[in-house]
Amino acid sequence: MNGKLYLVPTPIGNLEDMTFRAIRILKEADVILAEDTRTSAPMLKHFGIDKKAYSHHQHNEHKATTEIIKFLKEGKNVALVSDAGTPAISDPGFFLVREALKNNIEVNCLPGATAFVPALVNSGLPSDQFVFEGFLPVKKGRQTRLKLLADEERTMIFYESPHRLLKTLEEFAEFLGEDRQASVSRELTKIYEETVRGTVLEIKSHFENNILKGEIVICVAGKEVSKEKVKKNKFADID
């Protein structure tokens, strides 16, 4: 009988956000895979999980997956964690999940911490429909993507690093409009958690005068839909 692959979310800052089930699965797993073992080791120790974690990151996941599938086929249960949050959300995991499913191996993703959900709910922007963009391309294809997103009507969610935030906000102002409503959340669940709301230009001005640290989530309002289009869509399905 094959083992199971578990995707285990870990706290994005506050260790109190770890679930009882996540701790149990990590204690019971035969193998723990971690994006960065130096990051996961203190977390595992904190929860009394006395097991060695093995590296599984974007640079070795294709090569390592063959060996992991072998473990799973031998009946061993494997738990995958990322540095923070839910694996495979802008983190390694997708390739392993796909290969496991191809080999008829059961995959279980536990519910738990992820950065974009609290950032979206905190933003005050519409959350009934949204699109998760993750990290924008750093170079090739970046402007093309921004031009396409200019007409997106759903709330857009992005991940960004501190050193690129101001440049990204500047590009949002250029491609989406200076007055587009947005929010920027950083250090979520930590002591210095901060969410700044306003227009893209107002938020950029705020962070120009503040030291930037921590992972960042940007939520941007979708393009405003004209009243004429709303009226047309309302009656589109009526015969």
Instruction: Answer yes or no: is 65 within a domain.
Output: yes
* Domain CATH for 204: 3.30.950.10
Residues 68 and 121 grouped into a single domain: no
Residues 131 and 77 grouped into a single domain: no
- Let me know if 140 is exposed, middle or buried by CB neighbors in 10 A (0-12, 13-18, 19+): exposed
Task: Write out the residue range of the structural domain in which residue 126 sits.
Answer: 115-220
* Domain CATH for 54: 3.40.1010.10
Average pLDDT over residues 16-34: 97
Q: Token pair of 238, please?
A: 């009526």
Residues 78 and 162 grouped into a single domain: no
Instruction: Answer yes or no: is 104 within a domain.
Output: yes
Instruction: Answer yes or no: is 226 within a domain.
Output: no
Average pLDDT over residues 69-95: 95
Last residue of a domain, one of 109, 133, 155: 109
Residues 100 and 119 grouped into a single domain: no
Residues 59 and 93 grouped into a single domain: yes
Residue 234 pLDDT > 60: no
Instruction: Answer yes or no: is 230 within a domain.
Output: no
Residues 139 and 98 grouped into a single domain: no
Q: What's the gap between Cα 197 and its chain centre?
A: 20
Residues 137 and 43 grouped into a single domain: no
pLDDT at position 233, please?
A: 45
The alpha-helical segments, DSSP class H, found in the chain are: 20-28, 37-46, 61-73, 94-102, 116-123, 142-149, 165-175, 200-208, 227-234
Instruction: Answer yes or no: is 237 within a domain.
Output: no
Residues 10 and 82 grouped into a single domain: yes
Residues 98 and 122 grouped into a single domain: no
Q: Give yes or no for a contact between 11 and 43, defined as CB atoms under 8 angstroms apart.
A: yes
pLDDT 10s digits, 91-140 = 889 999 999 999 999 999 999 999 999 999 999 999 999 999 999 999 89
Q: Count of CB atoms within 10 A of residue 59's CB? A: 10
Q: Give yes or no for a contact between 86 and 112, defined as CB atoms under 8 angstroms apart.
A: yes
Total structural domains within the chain: 2
Residue type, 126: P
Residues 151 and 213 grouped into a single domain: yes
Q: What is the pTM of this model?
A: 0.89
